[in-house]
Structure 1
Amino acid sequence: MKKSLFAVVLSFGLLTTSILSVSAQEHEPGHDGMAADMNMKASVQQQVKSDMKLTLNGKPLQLDESYLIDNSLFVPYRAFAEGIGSEVGYDAATQTVTVKKDAKTVKLMIGSTEANVDGTKVSMVGPAQLINSSTFVHSRFLAEVFGIKVLYDENTRTVNLVSGGTSGSGQEVAKTYYVNIEGFAFKEGDITVEAGSTVIFTNKDKVKHNAVADDGSFQTALLAMGESESVTFAKPGEYTYFCEPHKNFMKGKITVK
């Protein structure tokens, strides 16, 4: 009886030691277990080389390559940013990309889904990431953050970028504002913007939300967590809006001057 009990205890001890050994190996830097885990995560976002063309105000925008990642177009940040007239920089120590255009500065850290826009954190569809040793970013985000409209022609598979530019007096005619949806509320819900400005709604909640104008002038799609949609306000006026699934308490107002 004592021998049987000793055998059971010994077997349990060996099993525990084996489990702990495997667990330690799986968390050891550089081990095959970690590499397999990283490969599994990488496979979640499938990178498909894109054949889409891009134009800026009707003229071709030359890019060596672009990729579709989860159905979103990612482009090499330097070529794209310089193509739309921005200044670019890269800090290797922090792996941070900086893009400057007019008075706006955007910083994106490789691997992060949050961008820093003039000191304000803004969510993106996907993180800036390295592909073939080059940094790729979400094209729509980087365009719209600088007030550039993005129009897609499905027949020709062309992404048309339309820049508002400046007025004859040299003043900027289009600006971009951000409304984050978080905690079942429009965090920057009551804002004042200039006519011609674009407002980007970004959902940070785990449930879907949208923005619907009371007068029917605009309605975004139901946005899942991390998704964004932009609305451009051409005419002055007051635009009250709500979230359709939570219209009793999620409301906001945009005043356009």
Structure 2
Amino acid sequence: AARGGDRGRARAPRARWYAAGEGAEGAAKAGAAKAGAEAGAEAGASASSGLFAAGYGKPMTWRVAGATLVTGAALTAAYFYEKERRFKEILASKTATAGEAAIGGPFSLRESVSGKAYTDKDLIGKWTLLYFGFTACPDVCPEEMEKLAEAIDMIEKVAGEGAINPVFISIDPERDSLEEVREYVKKFHKRMVGLTGSVKQCNAAARSYRVYHHKTSEDADYLVDHSIIHYLVGPDGKFRKFFLKSDEAKTIASGVLNLMADEFKAERAQKG
């Protein structure tokens, strides 16, 4: 409704500047006929001024603003695309060259509900999806957490409730207290595990999974630029696969279910 109102208000000035323009143009012609070419030129200038003052410049301003927004959106999309491409190359190369130990490893944090220690050993025995973010994130993290929650529900419709363990790890421990993380994760999924700790502990966990993160300023309301990746960890506690920002919830769900099925078949084959 608000947009419709804006468009209605935008049409009214156009009518005014058109009417004003015709009046001004008539005045210019009359002036030219009465006072000659010089007077006509002056009146013509007045006509142009009348058009601009009455709002003739406004349609062009909106066009420029629209073009600016489109350009900004395209640049933002290009930034995220290039960022994802580079992270994907880095992760893939590390996995290929260094094997199982390239991504993932020991960490020790605190679970936001109980306050108890939560380590990499707590991942053993279950499939886990890890996401690194921060509670003050204005847009990307909430979007990714919602996507993660949607993927969890899709997976559990097939594999059963509790088949996957969703975990959020803070990369902003200076602001992300146990309480902050606890209140944050419960907005997205009832079984989401929230982890935080000291700066040293959170940095160590991020390094284990090759997570890039950097404070954008020293202001109190600073943001944290960081890699946007979901990590799938197998029941043995080892990294299996990663999913990027461009991957939809259904892509994550199908990727996890396919790996679950493949490993289940392999286990059965080994047992004969």
What is the TM-score when the length of structure 1 is the normalising length?
0.27
TM-score normalised by L of structure 2: 0.26
Larger Rg: 2
Higher-RCO chain (CA-CA 8 Å, sequence separation at least 6):
2
Bigger fraction of residues in strand: 1
